[in-house]
Structure 1
Amino acid sequence: MKKKTTIKSIIIAVILVAVACTGFFMYKKSQVKETVKINSVKDIKGKKIGVQLGTTGDIYASDYEKDKSGTKVERYNKGTDATQALIQKKIDCVIIDEQPAKAFVAGNRSLSILKEEFVKENYAFCVGKNNKELTKKINAALKKLKENKTIEKINKNYIGKADEIGKTPYKKKNLPRKNGKLIVATNAAFPPYESYKNGKIVGIDVDIVQAVCDELDMELEIEDMEFDSIITAVQSGKADIGASGMTVTEERKMNIDFTNSYTTSKQVVIVNNGKSVGNATSIVEKFKSDFITDNRYEYILSGLKSTLIITILALVIGIVFGSLLAIVRTTHDKNGGLIILNFFAKIYLTIIRGTPTMVQLLIIYYVVFASANVNKIFVAVIAFGLNSSAYVAEVVRSGIMSVDNGQFEAGRSLGLSYSTTMINVVLPQAFKNILPALGNELITLLKETSISGYIGLIDLTKGSDIIRSVTYDAIMPLGVVALIYLFIVMLLTAGVNKLERSLRKNEKR
């Protein structure tokens, strides 16, 4: 029986992979859309514009939505996602900062940047409005770094002339760091300002912030998160400053303060130039680029570890707390007791089951633990554990209610207390009945952890996002992550089925 189950699982996995590959190649083959010609900024009216959510490109592009010319704005969490959509001709152009645009175009010969700039802008670090003293200190440090040409050297090291790039890397000073830690929020998918290299976040902003920390005798700690979460992190105190090519705008100044500008940049428009993408990269070369180069596979392994830890611990919380909720609810249903606890349990279940998991995760991170610098895995475990408990509670309650009432009465007639009867007689029988449903909850919980990246936690999905932001390849990183999830789900399903069969065998004896 075991052998048949294993063979069946392998066959299903092969079929799913084959279907996915076939679908992909059919999709690529059908991709013969005409390239929309955009020769100037004026031509983007009425087109599909791609932007990174929360950026100034998003702000400026929003104005086109109101001009009644049929312009549509597609918002993506990352600039690389918008660029990938442009390559696939899902959109007609991308509005983004100049230097990241150059990095995107360098790896895709089918893309070009319009010579005409979209708008000029100034970059600065964002600081909470209640942290005026820190703003003053950073401004003083930036002034000194400009005067001694440190910032100029950092810029040349990344975006200077061909013979300047890589020649003047900033070196961290050996200092006691007696003034504490500076927590910096960033979005490390924005080369050359911040991106991953050899497992570390590097770039212009990172070097400038490190230089500022050296001036202030502070230790630097960088938190990677989605761009649209940076300002929230600074406002809530999760980070001291935000540094991610942040443009100073009047709208943002209403919510946060800015330091003095440390550089100028401009928004540009990326378009398809109609050229062929050239010879396709072999699977081996793609695999090497995505996973072997710079040991990028470590992002997947690190993310997998976090995903499994969160899933297991959250499930424990869900089962324990969910069972307690179920006991409260069934006790009230059976004998009308625990009225107050049942009232609060119903409110809890209504709120948790009626709101999205991601909203709950963000509320717990940015509101509940706003002033506490807690471990992000701990936050994720609490968030997913509390969410899971609401669903487990109803599953366990249905299992308890499915046990014949005579079992409960028999236990009480033998002199057992209510709690002893519930724990030793009813719950073991209920557990057998709800095991498949609990297995489904475990699988759902595993997949829900993929949103952990919204609080800057590197889980399995976030690991693939980091690789995509560096290699600009979406297919293989996402495909590998999908297969890993599939493999884990198949193992969990097989484990639950084996446990269920074992319990049924014991039941027959």
Structure 2
Amino acid sequence: MSQSKHWLKKAIILAMTFILTIGMTLGMLLPLNANASSATDNSLNEVKKKGVLVMGTSPDYPPYEFQKSHHGQSKDYGADIQLGKQIAKKLHVKLKIKNMSFNSLLTALNTHKVDMIIAALSYTPQRAKNVNFSKSYADAYINFVVNKQDAKKYHSYKNLANQSIGAQLGTTQYTMAKKQIKNVHLKGMDSTNDLVIGLKSGRFKAVPMEKPAADAYIKNTTGLAEVPSHFKGQTGQNATRCIAFHKGANSLTNAANKVIEQDNHNHTYTNKFVAAAGKKMGTAKNNKSQFSLWNYKDYFIKGLELTIVISVASVIMGLILGVIFALMRLSHNWFLHTIAVIYIEFIRGTPELVQIMFVYFGLGEIVKLPALTSGIIAIGVNSGAYVAEIIRSGINSVDKGQMEAALSLGLSKAKGMKNIVLPQAFKNIWPALGNEFVTLLKDSSLVSTIGVAELMYEMKIVQADTYEGVLPIFIIMIIYFIMTSIILAIMHYYEKKFNHKGTAKA
């Protein structure tokens, strides 16, 4: 009893030390980076030195930012994209666009994944505490998109009291709906396309959008209408669109302000950029031709290829980590055992999406990792914890006499484990490993949140370009089903082969 208490005390101390070390390290690094930026402002010189201005955006909000097919490749278009290109041109650098969910953009900016955000982003005093805002380059007016049969029922936000409303997370539309609509049942989503699908399926009574975006969806989607919101605070700072920069990046902000001032004087953004984006979007008739989705086959193929790359790399990483940490957890060395327990329980006790964002944004403060690499690492590390427990159960299922027999024949413990125990363990856990591989394949869709162009990401591009909501979802469901069926068939084939060998030897 005393030994178990002693071990438990050591485990708790080690776990607390581990958690506090990570927390203090990250907590110290983030403020240091922020202070360094404000103390010495080299933001403009740094951009010019690297020759690239990195812009973060969320391309699901036409006519501001959206994607269309161009010779089989997805390209970014929209009024905000044009503004970004114009600023880069004035600075004599190239523009690099990083796409991700709108709700991740400010995190990407604060962790220096992007140099600026142009994504129909509104100025708010709360946001201004953490970022530099440029001067306003456009005003915004928010309307509601509703189903056509409800257009006469709702005339302002007051008529939507006690109703279900959908709004994009992290937007001023979401904040206004939450604060001003009485007893609202508010549902936040990352994608505007998903909100429109929810609206058409009857899950929401209305979706607040800026007027140009609402116009675009109504023009290209049947059965929808637009009504005024009459939200309070639709003039002044609450309704202005600004570019966000790192806190303290004054020189880069000032350079952008010079471009914005000239554009505002010439009305370039409204008269030229927004108008050009509207023409580029096309019409519902053009986008929804009978064979339109077949024209997007390259998108699905590209997404499938990247999904397979992520899955294969993560499976290999998960298996390696699984074996290592399973053996560590079975070890009689209390230090190795405790490390394994902390790793397995911590990973299994936190959401995988949070882990992906932590690796990309959090560790990105220390090590600059591309989005694809971050996604593979996060999914592989997550899988490793589950595989470790599967392998541990498999090792425990092998009779202890097997190892004793190996040792009596002169084999070392390591060779006995490698040549005798592990092969039998893998045979026993083969079906469970198959289920884990299938789960990992499906979980690869989570990396779309950080801008990795796998199947889910490409599906959203097709949705935005064709204004088809459900059909692209159905297509990738079929693709995932085919892939998982192939994995299960392979696993089942080798399971039968293992059983046949075992029966023949018996």
TM-score normalized by the length of structure 2: 0.65
**More divergent stretch after superposition (71-80 vs 357-366):** 71-80
Structure-1 separation of matches of 2:334 and 2:290: 59
Structure-1 separation of matches of 2:264 and 2:426: 67
2:466 matches 1:463: no
Structure 1 residue 313 displacement after superposition: 0.6
Contact 1:35 1:89 in 2 (8 A): no
Task: Give the corresponding residue for 1:122.
Answer: 240
Structure 1 residue 458 displacement after superposition: 1.3
**More divergent stretch after superposition (499-508 vs 135-144):** 135-144
2:185 matches 1:72: yes
Task: Give the corresponding residue for 2:317.
Answer: 317
2:418 matches 1:423: yes
Which amino acid counterpart does residue 413 of structure 2 have in structure 1? Y
Q: Secondary structure at the match of 1:302?
A: helix
For residues 133-174 of structure 1, what are the alpha-carbon distances to aligned partners after superposition, in whole Å with 9 as ceiling and x for unaligned? 2212222233344456654553353368xxxx57xxxxxxxx
Task: Give the corresponding residue for 1:171.
Answer: none
For residues 435-472 of structure 1, what are the alpha-carbon distances to aligned partners after superposition, in whole Å with 9 as ceiling and x for unaligned? 11111100010011111111111111121111112222
* Count of aligned pairs: 351
Q: Secondary structure at the match of 1:96?
A: strand
Task: Give the corresponding residue for 2:215.
Answer: 102
Structure-2 separation of matches of 1:287 and 1:451: 31
Q: Secondary structure at the match of 2:204?
A: coil
Contact 2:403 2:420 in 1 (8 A): yes
Which amino acid counterpart does residue 178 of structure 2 have in structure 1? S
Task: Give the corresponding residue for 1:188.
Answer: none
**More divergent stretch after superposition (437-446 vs 83-92):** 83-92
Structure 1 residue 109 displacement after superposition: 4.2
For residues 384-429 of structure 1, what are the alpha-carbon distances to aligned partners after superposition, in whole Å with 9 as ceiling and x for unaligned? 0000000000111111111111110111111111111111111111
Q: Over the residues paired in the alignment, what is the CA RMSD in angstroms?
A: 2.7
Which amino acid counterpart does residue 303 of structure 1 have in structure 2? G
Task: Give the corresponding residue for 1:447.
Answer: 442
Task: Give the corresponding residue for 1:438.
Answer: 433
Structure-1 separation of matches of 2:483 and 2:346: 30
Contact 1:84 1:472 in 2 (8 A): no
**More divergent stretch after superposition (147-156 vs 321-330):** 147-156
Which amino acid counterpart does residue 460 of structure 1 have in structure 2? L
2:245 matches 1:132: no
Matching residue within 387, 394, 400 for 2:395: 400
Task: Give the corresponding residue for 1:257.
Answer: none
Structure-2 separation of matches of 1:481 and 1:131: 42
Structure 1 residue 302 displacement after superposition: 1.4
Contact 1:41 1:116 in 2 (8 A): yes
Identity of aligned residues (%): 30
Matching residue within 483, 492, 497 for 1:497: 492
Structure 1 residue 498 displacement after superposition: 0.5
For residues 101-145 of structure 1, what are the alpha-carbon distances to aligned partners after superposition, in whole Å with 9 as ceiling and x for unaligned? 000110234222225654341111111103222212222233344
**More divergent stretch after superposition (146-155 vs 425-434):** 146-155
Structure 1 residue 44 displacement after superposition: 2.3
Unaligned ranges ≥5, structure 2: 1-146
Q: Secondary structure at the match of 2:365?
A: coil
**More divergent stretch after superposition (35-44 vs 380-389):** 35-44
For residues 303-336 of structure 1, what are the alpha-carbon distances to aligned partners after superposition, in whole Å with 9 as ceiling and x for unaligned? 1111111111111111111101111222x3xxxx
Contact 1:399 1:433 in 2 (8 A): yes
Matching residue within 152, 160, 169 for 1:53: 169
Which amino acid counterpart does residue 328 of structure 1 have in structure 2? M
Task: Give the corresponding residue for 2:201.
Answer: 88
For residues 85-111 of structure 1, what are the alpha-carbon distances to aligned partners after superposition, in whole Å with 9 as ceiling and x for unaligned? 222222211111111100011023422
**More divergent stretch after superposition (111-120 vs 76-85):** 111-120
Q: Secondary structure at the match of 1:457?
A: coil
Q: Secondary structure at the match of 2:309?
A: helix
Which amino acid counterpart does residue 305 of structure 2 have in structure 1? K
Structure 1 residue 84 displacement after superposition: 2.3
Which amino acid counterpart does residue 289 of structure 1 have in structure 2? S
Which amino acid counterpart does residue 438 of structure 1 have in structure 2? L
**More divergent stretch after superposition (339-348 vs 88-97):** 88-97
Task: Give the corresponding residue for 1:5.
Answer: none
Structure-1 separation of matches of 2:499 and 2:191: 50
Q: How does 1:269-418 map to 2 (within 5 A)?
A: 288-292=291-295, 296-330=296-330, 332=331, 337-418=332-413
Contact 1:357 1:384 in 2 (8 A): yes
Contact 1:45 1:64 in 2 (8 A): no
Which amino acid counterpart does residue 134 of structure 1 have in structure 2? L
Which amino acid counterpart does residue 321 of structure 2 have in structure 1? F
Task: Give the corresponding residue for 1:251.
Answer: none
Change (3 A) 1:428 1:105: same
Which amino acid counterpart does residue 318 of structure 1 have in structure 2? G
Structure-2 separation of matches of 1:382 and 1:345: 18
2:260 matches 1:142: yes
Contact 2:311 2:444 in 1 (8 A): yes
Which amino acid counterpart does residue 58 of structure 1 have in structure 2? Y
Structure-1 separation of matches of 2:247 and 2:148: 48
Q: Secondary structure at the match of 2:188?
A: strand
Q: How does 1:148-227 map to 2 (within 5 A)?
A: 150-151=268-269, 154-155=272-273, 157-158=275-276
Which amino acid counterpart does residue 112 of structure 1 have in structure 2? A
Contact 1:306 1:377 in 2 (8 A): no
Change (3 A) 1:285 1:62: closer
**More divergent stretch after superposition (44-53 vs 348-357):** 44-53
Task: Give the corresponding residue for 1:113.
Answer: 226
Task: Give the corresponding residue for 2:480.
Answer: 485
TM-score normalized by the length of structure 1: 0.64
